Amino acid sequence: MAASSLSLSPNPTTFTTSTKPSFSPAFHTAPHFIKFPNTSQTPTHIIVKPLTTHSPRASLSPIIPRATATPSTTQTTFHGLCYVVGDNIDTDQIIPAEYLTLVPSNPAEYEKLGSYALIGLPSSYTTRFVEPNENKTKYSIVIGGYNFGCGSSREHAPVALGAAGVAAVVAESYARIFFRNSVATGEVYPLESEGRICEECRTGDTITIELTESRLINHTTGKEYKLKPIGDAGPVIEAGGIFAYARNTGMIPTK
């Protein structure tokens, strides 16, 4: 994949949250120099994610699951059925420890991780997230409460969701490591809702998420909800993770 020709930005801007004037000289001489693309150039055309098919990120490269995405696959809208969970869904429930022998960077085992996504939920969840003998879920959007992904730092958690075909999680808030792992791997969009959507949506409702407008529409109930903007993390996930993003934007050499 010729990622070099697909740089998102020909004119990178310096990225830093520190804007103290006294620091700018240091920034230009120190080795810590980060280029970020001008995100306003992000394509805005809409590709609707089908209800039940695989994540296009995964299907781009059948050999290596963490495929390097290209701008042409930009998704700003997700459409599908949702699976609703509660507060404090920890990573043991997303992928129980007995399945951590599966190595996410191994393609076959990556697929297998998908089959166990959310299998650790208590039996009070009567609907299975992934049917037995399936690797993929029919729910491409997970809706949760606060502190989603707390607990263990296992990257297997966002990977299992992504491998199962989840495009986005929408929760009130996230535990830090899960959020970071989601962005670093580019497996799922960890989106934040403004309110407790998890109490107003039901598993099986048809949902559309419009990323650029930070909006979630529940077609089953006819209600719309505001999401918090994904910000700088968006382009990283879109690219397929930090490595792909860094290559696309010229931060690190292309392969």
Window 194-233: residues binding other proteins (CB under 8 A) = none
Q: How far is the CB of 122 from other proteins (least distance, A)?
A: 5
Query: In which element (H, E) is residue 248 found?
Result: helix 242-248
The verdict on 151 binding other proteins (CB under 8 A) reads yes
Give, as one character, the DSSP assignment of residue 145.
Answer: -
Binding window for other proteins (CB under 8 A); candidates: 51-59, 115-123, 133-141, 189-197: 115-123
Q: In the complex, what is the shortest distance from the CB of residue 118 to other proteins, in angstroms, rounded to a whole number?
A: 11
- Closer residue to other proteins in complex, CB, 33/228: 33
Is position 108 an interface residue for other proteins (rule: CB under 8 A)?
no
Identify the bridge partners of residue 148 per DSSP, sorted by sequence position: 174
147 sits near other proteins (criterion: CB under 8 A): yes
180 lies in the binding site for other proteins (CB under 8 A):
yes
Q: Which residue from 240, 247, 215, 232 is spatially nearest to 77, judged by alpha carbons?
A: 215
Strand 206-210 relative to strand 189-193, pairing: unpaired
Which of 56, 71, 92, 134 touches other proteins (CB under 8 A)? Answer: 92
| 49 contributes a contact to other proteins by CB under 8 A | no
Q: Are 200 and 213 in contact (CB under 8 A)?
A: no
Least distance (Å) between residue 33 CB and other proteins = 5
Q: Is 241 in the site for other proteins (CB under 8 A)?
A: yes
**Nearest partner of 190 among 179, 181, 201, 199, judged by Cα:** 179
For the CA atoms of 255, 74, 104, 134, the dihedral, rounded to the nearest 10 degrees, stands at: -140
> Could you say which of 35, 138, 196, 215 contacts other proteins (CB under 8 A)?
35
Say whether residue 153 binds other proteins (CB under 8 A).
yes
Residue 150: closest CA among 184, 197, 114, 190: 190
What are the residues facing 84 on neighbouring strands?
143
22, 141, 194 from 159: Cα distances, Å? 41, 14, 25
Closest CB 182 distance from other proteins, rounded Å:
9
Q: Compute the distance between CA of residue 124 and CA of residue 117 in angstroms, rounded to an integer.
A: 16
121 binds other proteins (CB under 8 A): yes
Binding residues vs other proteins (CB under 8 A): 15-18, 22-23, 25-26, 28-35, 64, 66, 88, 90, 92-93, 96-98, 100-106, 120-123, 146-147, 150-156, 173-177, 180-181, 184-185, 241-243, 246, 251-253, 255
